[in-house]
Amino acid sequence: MDIRWLGHSCFEIKNKSISIITDPYSPEIGLKLPKLKANIITVSHDHYDHNNIEAIDSAYADKKPFVIDGDGGYEIEGVLVEGIRTFHDDKGGTERGPNTVYDIKIDGMTVCHLGDLGGDLTEEQVEELDGVDILFVPVGGKYTLDAEGAAKVVNKIEPRIVIPMHYQIDGLKMDIGNADKFIKEIGLTAENLDSLKIEKKDLPVEGMRLIILNKA
């Protein structure tokens, strides 16, 4: 499996047979997506910096990608996706509405995308996310979890690998923080990579890896 970060909350999760794109954004945010094809597109919530599905071409010759934009269970091409309803703020969604967390099972591993999670997870939600191997967590604050909140959620989920997202980088036209505070808060040595190529056997047996992906 190969994971690339395309900026903001957008990732490409790809193996030899299938491609998944998460939260494709509009160019209004100041970043540009490369040309992409997908079998599956996940959308955590209906905001312009997460829902630009029209920007993604289909990996199929005869049909559009399968778009998942809410809670529930899905199985596509052997990939299991579970959408878990959460909120975009810490006030039950009254400020910014709902958010969907996605638990994606692919290649014998579980990848979790927290979307624009804005508050803490309940015990029940944490139980639903049991066994996460790779976690994408928003860390920039203001619209999502900040560094402290993100670290708290990470420590509840206890993934083997954590990859921050939704933070300030060059070109992004949003007033959010960078990843530095989160790196300090989580207390791990960060590994900088262009992409993460991984198999189940490569997952750490003990401890947690913090990976900072460079924007593709």
pLDDT band at 97 (very low <50, low <70, confident <90, very high): confident
Check residue 166 and give its pLDDT: 98
pLDDT band at 105 (very low <50, low <70, confident <90, very high): very high
| Residue, of 47 and 21, whose pLDDT is higher | 21
Check residue 90 and give its pLDDT: 76
Check residue 91 and give its pLDDT: 73
pLDDT band at 120 (very low <50, low <70, confident <90, very high): very high
The CATH number covering residue 76 comes to 3.60.15.10
Q: CA dihedral defined by 166, 184, 12, 144, rounded to 10 degrees?
A: -20
| Both structure tokens of 67 | 């778009």
In order of 9, 21, 57, 77, the CA distances from 60 in angstroms are 24, 14, 9, 12
Check residue 152 and give its pLDDT: 97
Check residue 214 and give its pLDDT: 98
Check residue 180 and give its pLDDT: 97
Number of domains in the chain: 1
- Measured at the CA of 214, the angle between CA 208 and CA 215, to 5 degrees, comes to 130
> If you average pLDDT over residues 28-32, what whole number do you get?
96
Domain that holds residue 95: 2-213
> If you average pLDDT over residues 20-41, what whole number do you get?
97
Residue 130 has pLDDT above 90, yes or no: no
- Per-residue pLDDT reduced to its tens digit, 136-179: 999 999 999 999 999 999 999 999 999 999 999 999 999 999 99
Check residue 202 and give its pLDDT: 96
**8 Å CB contact between 31 and 56:** no
- The whole model's pTM is what? 0.96
DSSP letters for 71-103: SEEEEETTEEEEEEEEESSSSTTTTT-EEEEEE
| Both structure tokens of 202 | 């490569």
- Per-residue pLDDT reduced to its tens digit, 37-95: 999 999 999 888 999 999 999 999 999 999 999 999 999 999 999 999 997 777 776 77
Name beta bridge partners: 164: 137
DSSP character at residue 131 = T
Find how far residue 41's CA is from the centre of its chain: 12
Residue 207 has pLDDT above 90, yes or no: yes
* Helices assigned H by DSSP within the chain: 123-128, 147-157, 180-186
State how far the Cα of 26 lies from the Cα of 45, in Å rounded to an integer: 13
